[in-house]
Structure formats: structure tokens, C-alpha cells
């Protein structure tokens, strides 16, 4: 069976018998069945799904429960963390400033934020507002994310901006795509630099306020709205569990402009309708101009297309725009973005030619469920009706054996390893210029890794081999298995340590850490 498609000609065909072709679209009944099956297949407690067509909400529903073990249902007002789908909102906030003449996409960042600096002084000087939004900085993908997550931690926005100067580029400026979060936080700081308002307050007033939302917040959530909240879930040690550290908080997150908006389905559909209307509100007033909509949906950073994407979606081009991903899918331009935060998944998909918008929010780290539901809803509108997306993404969801080790981590008994020096030889203070201090301590006879500014990065170091340990984090919801290797002198005393993720599939990347031992303290 071909799980990708059975192509349907998108015109009305009248046969001699009076038959007609399958009409584009999907019924609410079929969406209900699709979502229910995906939740069962991929262990998702709750989902919210909405569809906008021709300016009208044609489907909006909550499924399942807000929190595993409780009966409270997901509904249209349940608030989710929408993660990186926030990036389009950040871009829209800057588009408003461009419309007002307070900013230009080609303006230099240092003209507004003098303390902004990257590793290369020339790149710093040439870096524009648009560069902040298009993932073409030359930095390694995810550079500095350890200052953002896991929460809670002690890093400030000033720390994030200062830390950028320590990251060596991986590629030449404006030549390659590499996903980045820190630069979106810098982009958010352009708002107070030009208006005197915090980014979060500006968004709540100038975007959500004009949309008339009641359950969508970039800034502080009023106490009376801290109810009907989706809880985050992830599969930890083969068990679906609540990720307590990522519950929705009332406070504004340091990383708000990169992924901190919290929103209900009802209000996300208002945002989706605004996008499809090119910035226009139902009363004819505007949040941003049609020209800025065009610019935000214009390709900026070209991305490669895989053989699978071509086969599955007939995609010929992909690009990152300003806060959105672009691709041609089944002959239509698709404008979309996903959001991924441990315990939450979301996506917003727009097909402007069809005036179609789809919003999906899940309270679980379930990429496969998100993909299956998205494809199962969008593809029928594009004329592709017979494809089993649950089956397709079930195969995609199988763990990839692409580890740093030849053996899979679960096959290695880290508890029975040994190292080449006394544990006391590794004890000491280690300091990274952007991540701060890490102390290696002996606690109850065992070696421990303890981060000063990121308290969740604390774990026991199990001896492995040579001078390498396996970091077993106290909070296993981090999903950040790592090896810690010490460089030692001739006497076996540690000089520095290197941290590396165990698997290429891990959510965390420690590449940018530089942790020499502090010898004079």
C-alpha cells in the first residue's frame, strides 16, 4: 500500500453514470477519528485541534484530558505552551514597528542594542534585524540553549546576549541554515529599545489586545487565568509522566520571544485568521500591513529538500522566512511552524491560496502524533485522500540507532564501570565563560556534577572507562544523557572536562561548553 498518497484530480468530474470526484477537505467526524487514533497510538493525554477555511472556523475541538490521571477535559479554552510557534508572533511585533517607521528589517542590530556582539567583530557590525530572525548567523544550531533550558535557572537576558560573543561560528555568515533561539530573544529586545515597552507587554497590547484574545499571553498571566492549564507529559523510562519543571507559569520567561507564549485553541485560531487575512482584522483595521505580511512570508534562508520530503509531499523548495517555514506541498505554498518544548508540541500550518489554516496543540512530547494529525488534516484539502498517516508516522517514530556509541545506551551497564584515577582527582571548580561555574563534588562517596546557574543540571557521575563518566541526572525528565570526560595531567589530576551527549538523538547539545578547572580558588 502506498502510504503517501492516492492522487485525486482537483476538478469536478462528471461520469456518464453521474458520479463525482472526491471533494477536497476533511469532515469533523474524520478529524475526530484521526486525533483519537493518534492519541492512542502515540500515548498523548490531550490534544486541541482547529481548522480555519475561508475565514471561518470549520472545526475546533479538545480531546482527552489536561493531565494524566485527572478527569479535567481539554477544551477550546485550555491553555498550552505553544513553544516556537511564538517566533511568528515575535516577527509580527517587529513588523508593526516597521510599519510605524521605528525600525527597518535592514537596520543594524548594534544601532539599537550596542552590547550585542558575536564572535566575529565584522559579523557583529553587519548583523541586521532580519538576520536575527532567519537562522543564518553561522552559529551551530541550538547554540547557547543551555542558558534557556532546563528551567528553572538563573540566566538573565543580559547573560544570553553576553554569551553570544563566546560561540565560535560553525559556518560562514549568511551561508547555511542552523536553527537558533538566542537571536530571537535579542529580536525581542528591539521592542524596548525602540518603544520603551517590554516585548511581552507590547505583544499583549498590540497583537493579542487587538485580536480580542482572553487566554493568550506573552506577558504575566493574571492569577484568575491560571486555571484550565494543559500539563506537559513525556515518556520517561518507558512510562508517560508529567514533566513538573515545564508546567505553565504565570511569570514571563526569559526566553519569551523565542518560545514563551501560552495560548488556548480559541485564541490561536484568531491569530491564524489574522495571518490568513494578511494582518487585517474583521472590522477592516490592521495589526500589520499586507506588505509586511508579504515580507514575513518571503524566503530568506534556503534549506535542502530530502528525498523523503519530495516523495511524501512533492516538495521542490524549502526556505526559512521571517518566523515561518516555507515549502511547496502538493503544488501549494505552505507557510508553517512547529513548536517543541519538553512535554508540549504545537504547529500552525497555513495554505494561503486555499485560505486554510490548521492549529494543533498537544500536551506531550509526541512528534509523531503531531505529524500524523497535521498531514491527516491538511492533505485532504490538497487533494490527497487515501494515506494512512498513523501508520506512516508509527514507522517514523521508531527509535533511530544513531548513537555516539556503537551500542545503544540502554545496553551498557554504566554502574559497573571503572576509571583510571581516584575520584578525589576530579573534584574541583570548573568555569565556562557563558555557562558559569560547575563544581565536581563527592557526595556520600559518589562523584556529582553540580551547575551553579542551572540547578537542574545536577547529577551523579557513574564511572565508565578511562577518565570518562556517565552523567545520570537527578531529574530524568531532562533526557540529556551525557558523557563527562576529564583531561588530566601526568599525576592524574584533572585539568578540564568535556561534556558530550551520549546519543545523536538527544535533546541537548553540550558542544559549546568549555570547562577548564579553576586552579586559583
pLDDT, tens only, 133-149: 999 999 999 999 999 99
Same domain? For 239 and 317 the reply is yes
Q: Please tell me the distance from the alpha carbon of residue 333 to that of residue 326, in angstroms, as a whole number.
A: 7
Q: Is there a domain that residue 176 lies in?
A: yes
Q: Is there a domain that residue 13 lies in?
A: no
Same domain? For 188 and 223 the reply is yes
Q: Is there a domain that residue 226 lies in?
A: yes
Q: Is there a domain that residue 342 lies in?
A: yes
3-state secondary structure of 288: coil
Q: Is there a domain that residue 237 lies in?
A: yes
pLDDT in tens, 495-516: 999 999 887 666 678 989 999 9
Same domain? For 336 and 471 the reply is no
3-state secondary structure of 508: coil
- Domain stops at, among 338, 358, 392: 392
Tell me what the mean pLDDT of segment 283-302 comes to: 98
Same domain? For 432 and 386 the reply is no
HSE-CB for 48 with a 13 A CA cutoff: 29
pLDDT of amino acid 36: 98
Q: Is there a domain that residue 399 lies in?
A: no
Residue 508: which domain range?
A: 409-516
Nearest CA among 80, 258, 69, 42 for reference residue 161:
258
Same domain? For 98 and 245 the reply is yes
Q: Is there a domain that residue 427 lies in?
A: yes
Tell me what the mean pLDDT of segment 474-482 comes to: 87
- Domain stops at, among 363, 392, 421: 392
Same domain? For 273 and 167 the reply is yes
Tell me what the mean pLDDT of segment 151-165 comes to: 95
Q: Please tell me the distance from the alpha carbon of residue 119 to that of residue 125, in angstroms, as a whole number.
A: 11
Task: Give pairs for 455-464: CB < 8 Å, separation 24+.
Answer: 455/152, 455/153, 455/154, 456/150, 456/151, 456/152, 456/153, 456/245, 457/146, 457/150, 461/426, 462/414, 462/415, 462/417, 463/417, 463/418, 463/419, 464/414, 464/417, 464/419
Instruction: Report how many domains make up the chain.
Output: 2
pTM: 0.92
Same domain? For 223 and 107 the reply is yes
Amino acid at each position: 500500500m502506498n502510504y503517501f498518497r492516492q492522487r485525486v484530480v482537483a476538478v469536478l468530474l462528471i461520469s456518464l453514470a453521474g458520479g463525482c470526484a472526491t471533494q477536497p477537505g476533511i469532515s469533523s467526524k474524520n478529524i475526530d477519528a484521526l486525533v483519537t487514533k493518534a492519541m492512542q497510538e502515540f500515548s498523548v493525554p490531550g490534544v486541541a485541534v482547529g481548522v480555519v477555511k475561508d475565514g471561518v472556523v470549520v472545526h475546533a475541538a479538545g480531546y482527552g484530558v489536561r493531565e494524566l490521571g485527572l478527569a479535567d477535559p481539554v477544551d477550546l479554552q485550555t491553555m498550552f505552551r505553544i513553544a516556537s510557534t511564538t517566533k511568528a508572533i515575535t516577527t509580527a511585533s517587529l513588523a508593526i514597528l516597521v510599519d510605524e517607521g521605528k525600525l527597518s528589517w535592514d537596520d543594524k542590530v548594534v544601532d539599537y542594542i550596542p552590547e550585542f556582539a558575536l564572535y566575529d567583530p565584522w559579523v557583529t557590525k553587519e548583523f541586521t534585524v532580519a538576520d536575527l530572525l532567519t537562522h543564518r548567523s553561522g552559529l551551530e544550531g541550538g547554540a547557547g540553549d543551555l542558558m534557556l533550558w532546563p528551567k528553572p535557572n538563573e540566566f538573565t537576558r543580559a547573560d544570553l546576549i553576553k554569551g553570544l560573543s563566546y560561540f565560535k561560528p560553525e559556518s560562514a555568515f549568511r551561508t547555511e541554515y542552523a536553527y537558533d533561539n538566542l537571536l530571537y530573544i535579542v529580536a525581542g529586545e528591539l521592542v524596548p529599545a525602540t518603544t520603551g515597552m517590554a516585548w511581552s507587554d507590547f505583544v499583549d497590547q498590540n497583537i493579542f489586545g487587538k485580536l480580542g484574545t482572553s487566554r493568550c499571553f506573552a506577558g504575566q498571566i493574571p492569577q484568575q487565568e491560571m486555571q484550565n492549564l494543559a500539563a506537559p507529559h513525556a515518556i520517561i523510562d518507558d512510562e508517560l509522566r508529567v514533566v513538573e519543571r515545564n508546567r505553565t507559569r504565570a511569570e514571563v520567561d526569559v526566553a519569551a520571544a523565542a518560545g514563551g507564549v501560552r495560548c488556548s485553541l480559541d485564541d490561536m485560531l484568531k491569530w491564524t485568521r489574522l495571518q490568513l487575512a494578511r494582518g487585517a482584522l474583521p472590522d477592516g483595521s490592521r495589526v500589520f500591513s499586507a506588505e509586511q505580511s508579504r515580507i514575513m512570508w518571503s524566503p530568506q534562508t534556503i534549506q535542502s529538500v530530502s528525498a523523503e520530503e519530495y516523495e511524501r509531499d512533492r516538495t521542490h523548495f524549502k526556505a526559512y522566512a521571517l518566523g515561518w517555514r516555507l515549502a511547496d506541498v502538493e503544488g501549494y505554498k505552505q507557510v508553517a511552524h512547529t513548536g517543541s518544548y519538553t512535554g508540549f508540541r504545537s504547529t500552525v500550518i497555513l495554505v494561503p491560496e486555499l485560505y486554510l489554516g490548521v492549529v494543533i496543540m498537544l500536551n506531550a512530547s509526541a512528534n509523531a502524533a503531531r505529524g500524523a494529525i497535521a498531514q491527516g488534516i491538511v492533505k485532504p484539502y490538497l487533494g490527497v485522500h487515501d494515506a494512512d498517516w498513523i501508520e506512516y508516522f508509527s514507522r517514523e517514530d521508531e527509535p533511530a540507532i544513531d548513537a555516539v556509541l556503537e551500542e545503544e545506551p540502554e545496553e551498557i551497564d554504566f554502574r559497573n564501570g571503572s576509571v583510571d584515577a581516584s575520584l578525589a582527582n576530579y573534584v574541583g571548580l570548573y568555569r565556562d565563560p557563558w555557562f558559569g561555574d560547575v563544581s565536581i563534588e563527592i557526595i556520600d562517596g559518589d562523584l556529582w556534577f553540580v551547575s551553579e546557574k542551572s540547578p537542574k543540571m545536577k547529577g551523579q557521575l557513574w564511572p565508565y572507562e578511562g577518565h570518562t563518566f556517565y552523567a545520570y541526572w537527578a531529574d530524568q525528565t531532562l533526557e540529556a544523557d551525557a558523557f563527562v570526560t576529564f583531561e588530566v595531567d601526568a599525576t592524574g589530576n584533572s585539568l578540564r572536562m568535556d561534556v558530550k551527549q551520549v546519543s545523536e538523538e538527544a535533546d541537548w547539545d553540550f558542544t559549546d561548553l568549555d570547562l577548564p578547572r579553576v586552579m586559583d580558588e
